[in-house]
Structure 1
Amino acid sequence: MNSELLKKNFYEAVNGKWIEKAVIPGDQPAVSTFLELHLGIEKTLMNLTKKWEKVPSDLPVNLQKFIALYRMTKEYTKREELGTTPFEPILQSIQNVTSLDDLHNMYKQFSLESIATPFTFDVNQDFLNSNNQILYFSAANLFLPDTSYYQDEAKKAQLIGLFTATTTQLLSLYGFEQDEVDRLLTEALAFDELLVPVTKSSVEKADYVKMYNPVSKAEIQKLSTHFDLIKQAEALVQQPVDQLIVTNLDFIHAFDDIICEDNFNIIKSWMIVSNAIKFANDLTDEIRIAGGAFRRGLSGIKEAQSKEKFAFYQAYNRFDQVVGLYYGETYFGPVAKGDVKTMVHEIIGIYQERISDNTWLNKETKEKAIRKLSTLSVHVGYPDELPPYYDQFDIKGYDQGSDLVQERLSMDRIVNQYQFDQYHKEPNKNLWFMPASMVNAYYNPSNNQIVFPAAILQQPYYSIDQSKSENYGGVGAVMAHEISHAFDNNGAKFDETGSLFNWWTDQDLEAFNNRAKDMIALFDGVETGYGPCNGELTVSENIADSGGLRCALEASKKNSDHNYDEFFQNWARCWRMKASLEFKQLLLKIDVHGPAILRANLQLSNMPEFQDFYKITKDDEMYLDKDKMVSIW
């Protein structure tokens, strides 16, 4: 560590040498601790895939299917031979739609095959009853990543220009003539503009409880006179539907003005453009590279993934939980699993102590918070079971007349039908939202559940060879971070069963909301060197970081060999990142997590123990007056 920088910029003091030497891979927008672990796992899995390819018959059936799909994705010669032919049935099905009535007749097929349409249905847990699953309704995403880009005329012109240039090249590769390309893009962008005023910003989406808006069948029918949404919903779930959960009320209230015959031509052009982008990955290498050009430009990525890596991920992404389960069972041993589970329950115990000792909560609210904590479901390493739809997959292969588009449509039909079949059924809470091979962790408020995949349980987050203080500053803080999400500005609205219910007294809720506002103010507008932080967008993650750090530090301090320096340094080390300017600025707009430099510096400055241990004074840049510190959990 650079001791001269310690009081000025702790993040740089710890990570400066790493940042100086770190090289951003050409096919990535950044390199970070997360990505370094990911790349190591990527190498392991790609090597395994090559090994499995030689003797696939020795594998479990679903891994055999993964290898069968991988053999298709890596056959670029065959993909070149097929050209755009695999996409032609999709294009033709859209071309055959000549009116809203036609779209109505085709909508179920489009929806089951995940063909892009201007609005979508999906089945998820009911916020008001976590033991039931109901139907949600949403508008399609915008072409640009956030509504704020449309409000900044200069930025909008720049990004729409990039989108137009890259998509023009893509459509030309599909064989469209230039005048047709110009018409399609003009009309697709015109429809995109109609969605802008009725689309939530990233800040609004971050308050996800506000996405839960039950609208009755009768009201939906009044608002959708040109397109029978209830009929489509009932066709998908094959049951009567008495309401939809609308994620954006502005969209449903404007539905008849947007989805109408007068707009049909621009809707159709939007569908052609959107699906040309969506299915580009399944065609030739030139087309898949062109299809990702806008995303790469947006994030500052210098080059497309290699053929070899892309082929692996194209198959892996379809079987990630299957491959992830093998990874977890093989590379995450029982000793580590036991140690991590012990840490989790120790952290839960610390959290319970902190709630009991809390000075701003009433006894009634404390008891309910502790009840929620005591019923928290903990999952470590890998799941006990996988979604059953993998068993239904059947990879045909080129020799049976199939291609990657046909395989994609077939698998999407199976997955989507499975999801729609869950309507009004109790959810299986053993299923995970991510594979064991993903470097991440999460809290699910509807299940009151925390999940720690095997992949993140590596250095610097965790190692049986690291000191306990380092482990607590790494994975311990991550564990406590995820637990804190049960009590952040979103999670605190759900009870111990995972249902949306106000279990707070009015006085305590007001006190909590005031502290959340303080957290917003602490981060809002703080300069990062590439733009100011948005405190409102990042508030839930900042609350979780703050609570996680405090709780993990308490756990570390209970050990006789506790070391403040090791704890604080490893926290800063975990968030090191070197990224393109474009990517860092993009994250400021759309990422609910605080910028990496603030997750290290400002979160630590916000802790009295950090200030005291390093003897930070008001003359130091890492100083924060204790009166301005924000402590919630």
Structure 2
Amino acid sequence: MKKELIKTNYYEAVNEEWLKNAVIPGDKPSMSAFLELHLGIEDILLDLTAKWEKDQTGLNENTKKFIKLYQMTKDFDKRSELGTKPFEVVLNQINQLKNLKDLDKAFKDLTLASIETPFGFSVMQDFMNSNNQVLYFGASRLFLPDTTYYKDEKSKAQLIGLFTQTTTQLLNLYGFSKEEKEKLISDALAFDELLVPVTKSSVEAADYVKMYNPLSKSDAKKLTKNFDIMGNAEALVKQDVDQLIVLNLDFINAFDSIISDENFEIIKSWMVVNNARSFASDLTDELRVAAGAFGRALSGTKEAQSKEKFAFYQAYNRFSQVVGLYYGENFFGPVAKEDVKKMVHEIIGIYNERITNNDWLNEKTKAKAIKKLTTLSVHVGYPDELPPYYDMFEVKGYEEGSNILNEKLKMTRIMSELNFEKYNKAPNKNIWHMPASMVNAYYSPTNNQIVFPAAILQKPYYSLEQSPSENYGGIGAVMAHEISHAFDNNGAKFDEFGSLSNWWTDEDLEAFKKKSKDMIDLFDGVETGNGVCNGELTVSENIADSGGLRCALEASKKRKDHDLEGFFKNWASVWRQKASPEYSQLLLRVDVHGPTILRANMQLSNLPEFQDFYQITEEDKMYLAKDKMVSIW
């Protein structure tokens, strides 16, 4: 550690050597502690896949399906031979649409095949009753990553120019004529422009409770006279639908002015362009690389992923939980699973103490918070069961007359049909939203559940080689961070059952809102070296970081061998990241997580123990006056 930087920039003091030597892979926009773990797991999974290819003895049927699909995805000679022919099945479905009435009739089949349309449905848990699943309705995404890009004329012109250039190159590979390309792109951009005013910005979407807007069947019909929205909804779920949950009221209020016969031609062109982009990776490698050019330019990624890795991930992404379960069971195991579960429950116990001793909540609110905490379900390592669609998949190879795009359409139809069958049914809360082989963790507010996949439970987050204080500064803080999401500005609106419910007294709710505003102000406008932080966009993650860090520190303090510096250093080291300027700037606009340098520095400056341990004074850049500190949990 570079000691002279401790009081100026703790993040750099701890990570200086790593930041100097870290190399951003050519096919990535950044390098980080997360990515280092991911790349290590990637090597393991690639080796396993090669081994399974040679010998499938002992493999379950779903893993064999993964291998069969992988053998298709890596056969680039066959993909080149087929060219764009497999895409004709998608293009023909779109070309057959002559007007809005045709789209209305075809909408159910297009939706089940996940062929891109301008709006769509999904069945998810009901915010008001987490033991039921209801139908949500929303518009498709914009071409640019956030509405703010459209408001800055200079950046908009540059990015739309880049989008036009890369999409022209892609459509050229599909064999469209010059006139067809120009019309398709011009029309698609015209329709995209219609969606901009009725699309939420990343900041607006971060407050996801505001995405819950129930609309009765009769009201939905009144607003969508040009298209049988409710008829299609009922066709998809195969039963009566009395209301929709609308993700964005602005869109449905403007629906008939956007989705109209007058706009049908630009809608159709938009569909061709979107689907040409989304299905390109299922065709030739040249098309795959061309389709990713716009995204790589946005993030500052220098090159496309190698053919070998891409082929693996194309198959793995379809069977990720199957492969992830093998990884979890064989590289993590039941003993480690129980050990980490014990650590999580220890952190929950500390959180319980902190709420009990809280000085700004009254006893009624504390009792509700503790009830929510004690009913929190914990999932560690790998899931007990997998989604049912894996058993329903049947992979047919090239020799059986199939191709990758066809297999994708079949699989997505199965997944879509299962999703719509969940309507008005209780959710299965044992199903995870990510594989055990993913370096990540999450909190589900509608399940009041935290999940820690096996992949993240490694050094620098967790290791028997590290001191307990280092582990608390790593995985302990991550665990407490996820628990804190139950009490961030979004999670705090859900009760112990995962339903939207105000369990706060009016006085405590006002105090919480004031503290949340203080957290926004603490981060808002702080320079990162690539632009300023948006405190409103990142408030939920900053609340979770702050609560997680404080809780993990309390746990570490209870140990006889507690080491403050070891704790602080590992907290700073887990956020190390080296990124392209383009990627850093993109994240500042769209990522609800704070910039990594602030996750390390600002959260530590916000701790009295850090200030006292390093004797930080007003002259030091890491200084934060104690009356300016924000402590919520």
TM-score between the two structures when normalised by the length of structure 2? 1.00
* Contact kept? 1:541, 1:593, Cα under 8 Å: yes
Match of 2:624 in 1: 624
Q: How does 1:4-153 map to 2 (within 5 A)?
A: 4-153=4-153
Match of 1:522 in 2: 522
Match of 2:175 in 1: 175
Match of 1:575 in 2: 575
Deviation at 1:570, TM superposition (A): 0.2
Task: Tell me the distance in 1 between the aligned counterparts of 2:16 and 2:450.
Answer: 33
Task: Tell me the distance in 2 between the aligned counterparts of 1:182 and 1:90.
Answer: 20
Match of 1:388 in 2: 388
Of residues 56-65 and 408-417 in structure 1, the stretch that sits farther from structure 2 once superposed is 56-65
Match of 1:286 in 2: 286
Deviation at 1:462, TM superposition (A): 0.3
Equivalent position SS for 1:586: helix
Deviation at 1:336, TM superposition (A): 2.1
Match of 2:414 in 1: 414
Deviation at 1:297, TM superposition (A): 0.4
Of residues 340-349 and 534-543 in structure 1, the stretch that sits farther from structure 2 once superposed is 340-349
Task: Tell me the distance in 2 between the aligned counterparts of 1:107 and 1:405.
Answer: 20
The runs of at least 4 consecutive aligned structure 1 residues that moved more than 6 Å come to none
Equivalent position SS for 1:426: coil
Task: Tell me the distance in 2 between the aligned counterparts of 1:120 and 1:96.
Answer: 20
Match of 1:187 in 2: 187
* Contact kept? 1:41, 1:437, Cα under 8 Å: yes
Give 1:570's aligned amino acid. Answer: N
Equivalent position SS for 2:215: strand
Task: Tell me the distance in 1 between the aligned counterparts of 2:396 and 2:331.
Answer: 31
Task: Tell me the distance in 1 between the aligned counterparts of 2:339 and 2:400.
Answer: 49
Q: How does 1:65-464 map to 2 (within 5 A)?
A: 65-464=65-464
* Contact kept? 1:83, 1:283, Cα under 8 Å: yes
Equivalent position SS for 1:52: helix
Task: Tell me the distance in 1 between the aligned counterparts of 2:250 and 2:285.
Answer: 40
Deviation at 1:586, TM superposition (A): 0.3
Q: How does 1:532-547 map to 2 (within 5 A)?
A: 532-547=532-547
Q: Deviations over 1:135-161 (max 9, x none)?
A: 000100000000000001111111111
* Contact kept? 1:73, 1:315, Cα under 8 Å: yes
Task: Tell me the distance in 2 between the aligned counterparts of 1:576 and 1:159.
Answer: 29
Deviation at 1:340, TM superposition (A): 1.0
Equivalent position SS for 2:5: coil
Give 2:601's aligned amino acid. Answer: N
Give 2:342's aligned amino acid. Answer: T
Equivalent position SS for 2:619: coil
Task: Tell me the distance in 1 between the aligned counterparts of 2:116 and 2:416.
Answer: 14
Give 2:460's aligned amino acid. Answer: P
Task: Tell me the distance in 1 between the aligned counterparts of 2:53 and 2:339.
Answer: 35
Deviation at 1:337, TM superposition (A): 1.8
Match of 1:466 in 2: 466
Give 2:509's aligned amino acid. Answer: L
Task: Tell me the distance in 2 between the aligned counterparts of 1:58 and 1:175.
Answer: 45
Give 1:262's aligned amino acid. Answer: E
Give 1:200's aligned amino acid. Answer: K
Task: Tell me the distance in 1 between the aligned counterparts of 2:111 and 2:290.
Answer: 25
Task: Tell me the distance in 2 between the aligned counterparts of 1:334 and 1:67.
Answer: 26
Deviation at 1:66, TM superposition (A): 0.2
* Contact kept? 1:185, 1:273, Cα under 8 Å: yes
Deviation at 1:4, TM superposition (A): 0.6
Task: Tell me the distance in 1 between the aligned counterparts of 2:355 and 2:322.
Answer: 39
Deviation at 1:339, TM superposition (A): 2.0
Alignment CA distance shift 1:336-1:58 (3 Å): closer
Task: Tell me the distance in 2 between the aligned counterparts of 1:57 and 1:175.
Answer: 44
Task: Tell me the distance in 1 between the aligned counterparts of 2:57 and 2:247.
Answer: 45
Match of 2:566 in 1: 566
Match of 1:492 in 2: 492
- Note if 1:589 corresponds to 2:589: yes
Deviation at 1:58, TM superposition (A): 3.2
Task: Tell me the distance in 2 between the aligned counterparts of 1:405 and 1:487.
Answer: 43
Deviation at 1:338, TM superposition (A): 2.2
Give 2:147's aligned amino acid. Answer: T
* Contact kept? 1:73, 1:312, Cα under 8 Å: yes
Deviation at 1:57, TM superposition (A): 4.8
Of residues 332-341 and 459-468 in structure 1, the stretch that sits farther from structure 2 once superposed is 332-341
Deviation at 1:403, TM superposition (A): 0.3
Give 2:12's aligned amino acid. Answer: E
Deviation at 1:411, TM superposition (A): 0.1
Number of equivalenced pairs: 633
Task: Tell me the distance in 2 between the aligned counterparts of 1:315 and 1:290.
Answer: 20
Task: Tell me the distance in 2 between the aligned counterparts of 1:334 and 1:325.
Answer: 12
Give 1:469's aligned amino acid. Answer: S
Q: Deviations over 1:391-432 (max 9, x none)?
A: 000000000000011000000000000000000000000000
Equivalent position SS for 2:65: helix
Equivalent position SS for 1:256: helix
Task: Tell me the distance in 2 between the aligned counterparts of 1:430 and 1:85.
Answer: 40
Task: Tell me the distance in 1 between the aligned counterparts of 2:141 and 2:320.
Answer: 24
* Contact kept? 1:470, 1:567, Cα under 8 Å: yes
Task: Tell me the distance in 2 between the aligned counterparts of 1:445 and 1:256.
Answer: 34
Q: Deviations over 1:311-349 (max 9, x none)?
A: 000000000000000000000033322221111011000
Task: Tell me the distance in 1 between the aligned counterparts of 2:493 and 2:295.
Answer: 35
Give 2:364's aligned amino acid. Answer: E
Task: Tell me the distance in 1 between the aligned counterparts of 2:355 and 2:216.
Answer: 40
Task: Tell me the distance in 2 between the aligned counterparts of 1:373 and 1:298.
Answer: 40
Task: Tell me the distance in 1 between the aligned counterparts of 2:628 and 2:154.
Answer: 37
Task: Tell me the distance in 2 between the aligned counterparts of 1:57 and 1:616.
Answer: 61
Equivalent position SS for 2:262: helix
Equivalent position SS for 2:121: strand
Equivalent position SS for 1:58: coil
Give 1:9's aligned amino acid. Answer: N
Deviation at 1:179, TM superposition (A): 1.2
Task: Tell me the distance in 2 between the aligned counterparts of 1:322 and 1:620.
Answer: 51
Of residues 56-65 and 223-232 in structure 1, the stretch that sits farther from structure 2 once superposed is 56-65
Task: Tell me the distance in 2 between the aligned counterparts of 1:56 and 1:245.
Answer: 46
Deviation at 1:581, TM superposition (A): 0.3
* Contact kept? 1:336, 1:464, Cα under 8 Å: no
Q: Deviations over 1:465-488 (max 9, x none)?
A: 211000000000000000000000
Equivalent position SS for 2:567: helix
Equivalent position SS for 1:261: coil
Deviation at 1:591, TM superposition (A): 0.3
Task: Tell me the distance in 2 between the aligned counterparts of 1:240 and 1:211.
Answer: 23
Task: Tell me the distance in 1 between the aligned counterparts of 2:251 and 2:226.
Answer: 14
Equivalent position SS for 1:56: coil
Task: Tell me the distance in 2 between the aligned counterparts of 1:467 and 1:337.
Answer: 19
Task: Tell me the distance in 1 between the aligned counterparts of 2:371 and 2:338.
Answer: 24
Give 1:286's aligned amino acid. Answer: E
Identity of aligned residues (%): 71
Q: Deviations over 1:342-392 (max 9, x none)?
A: 110110000000000001001000000000000000000000000001000
Equivalent position SS for 2:6: coil
* Contact kept? 1:57, 1:64, Cα under 8 Å: no
Equivalent position SS for 2:17: helix
Task: Tell me the distance in 1 between the aligned counterparts of 2:501 and 2:448.
Answer: 13
Give 2:589's aligned amino acid. Answer: K
Task: Tell me the distance in 2 between the aligned counterparts of 1:621 and 1:335.
Answer: 44
Give 1:610's aligned amino acid. Answer: F
* Contact kept? 1:477, 1:552, Cα under 8 Å: yes
Equivalent position SS for 2:408: helix
Q: Deviations over 1:442-491 (max 9, x none)?
A: 00000000000000000000012211000000000000000000000000
